[in-house]
Copies of this chain bind each other. A is one copy, B any other.
Amino acid sequence: MRPRATREQLEYVIGLLHENGLTSVSSTMADIVMLITEESVTPDIAATIEKAPGVDRVVVVPGTQRLTSRIFRPEDTRVQVGPAGGPVIGGPEFVVIAGPCAVESAPQMNSVADVVVASGAVVLRGGAFKPRTSPYSFQGLGLAGLTLLAEQRRRTGLPVVTEVVTADDVKCVAEESDMLQIGTRNMQNFDLLRAAGESGRPVLLKRGMSSTIEEWLLAAEYVMHVGNSSVVLCERGIRSYDRSTRFTLDLGAVAEAKRLTHLPVLVDPSHSTGRPHLVGPMSLAAASCGADGLLIDVHTDARNALCDGNQALSGEQFSTLMERLRPVVEAVGRTLARPRSQSLAQV
């Protein structure tokens, strides 16, 4: 539909679709209402609809992707994280998100937040609900962790992203954070994808550790299908036969995803490699192959971390990385996103 199409025009088109035996859902992307129909549309029907008042154009997308496809939307989608004026993922700025794998305590969060803000991260991460392979591992602080994270949001002025593991938690996680993370094990938890989509919050969708690019985009399609177009993809390593690195970071998939979809793509060099000394090289590689930002584990006391401490960067390592990152980001024609003026870094 055209940007200023009226409610009546929209309903007229829905009626037209129904008359022709087509069902439809509507989705809003950058103020433009879109009507998506899943059945095959004949050229005749397409022509009829295209002539209706308020209709901009009819796009028929081949293949399995629809809303996520570059054919449907050629321009890059930009996702605003937190209030206006805050970081935008998918635009000219390269966005670094950092923080601990798990929220553990107020002192830990203070310490890590200070460090990542000082080095230039623009979004804070931290897990309150941790999906763990074993029931005997630390499962996260849950709601208490969420509260600790929200405190950092207030204290630092940085928007926060945190993982949600079940549809029932979406509401409270959406209230206390700026972006909902769907983890690799939940990439095909379709119920959770729909609930996260319906929350209206931006969704950070990690690639399943054995998902194809097509499956990853179709998972994003579930979120967009309920009307939420603020989806940020995140490559975090796939399983291959070689366990020399924890997972195999698939940067070819990042470049290919950028070609297939208009959605922004981040890279997580921490979980993918599982080794601090590889986080630096892989961050630079991600920045130069077209990724829109990074998601990095930082811990100021990695040895005593309750989760994945052996892959976290120290504050000093993170600071060094940020310095090395800047010239590479600029060499590919982008700039490193800076924290907003009211954030802790400027205090």
Residues of A in contact with B (beta carbons under 8 Å apart):
38, 64, 66, 131-136, 165-168, 185-186, 188-191, 209-215, 218, 221-222, 225, 238-245, 248-256, 259, 272-273, 275, 277-278, 281-282, 284-290, 324, 327-328, 330-332
Min distance, Cβ A280 to any Cβ of chain B, angstroms: 8
In the bound complex, do residue B166 and residue A282 qualify as a contact, i.e. CB atoms below 8 Å apart? no
In the complex, the chain B residue whose C-beta lies closest to that of A287 is: B288
CB distance from A217 to the nearest CB of B (A): 10
Whole-angstrom distance from the CB of A320 to the nearest CB of chain B?
14
Q: Which residue of B lies closest to A279 (CB)?
A: B255
Complex partner residue of A285 from B189, B212, B215, B285, CB under 8 angstroms: B285
A115 to chain B, nearest CB (A): 24
Knowing A238-B240, A285-B289, A289-B285 are in contact, say whether A248-B245 is a contact too (CB < 8 A).
Answer: no
Q: Shortest beta-carbon distance, A317 to chain B, in Å?
A: 15
**A132–B218 alpha-carbon span in the complex (Å):** 10
The chain B residue sitting closest to A260, CB to CB, is B244
Q: Which of B134, B256, B284, B285 contacts A244 (CB 8 A)?
A: B256
Given contacts A135-B221, A259-B277, contact A244 B248 (CB under 8 A): no
A218 touches B168 (CB 8 A): no
Closest 4 CB pairs of A and B: A210-B210, A255-B281, A285-B285, A285-B289
Asked if B251 contacts A256 (CB within 8 A), the reply is no
Number of copies of this chain in the oligomer? 4
User: Are the C-beta atoms of B244 and A214 separated by less than 8 Å?
Assistant: yes
Using known A-B contacts A252-B273, A252-B278, determine if residue A134 contacts B64 with beta carbons closer than 8 Å: yes
Could you write out 22 A-B pairs with CB less than 8 Å apart?
A64-B134, A66-B136, A133-B215, A165-B190, A166-B167, A185-B189, A210-B239, A212-B244, A214-B244, A238-B248, A239-B239, A239-B241, A241-B241, A245-B253, A251-B281, A254-B281, A281-B288, A284-B332, A285-B289, A324-B332, A327-B331, A328-B332
Q: Which residues of B contact A64 (CB under 8 A)?
A: 134, 136
Known contacts being A188-B133, A239-B210, A244-B212, is A281 close to B290, with CB within 8 Å?
yes
Determine the residue in chain B with the shortest Cβ distance to A190: B131
Within 8 Å CB of A135, what residues of B?
190, 218, 221-222, 225
Besides A239-B239, A256-B278, 11 more A-B contacts (Cβ < 8 Å) are A131-B190, A167-B168, A242-B250, A242-B253, A248-B252, A252-B272, A252-B273, A255-B277, A255-B278, A256-B275, A281-B290
Partner of A253, one of B244, B250, B255, B288: B244
- Residues in B with CB closer than 8 Å to A166 are 167, 191
Q: Which residues of B contact A255 (CB under 8 A)?
A: 277-278, 281-282
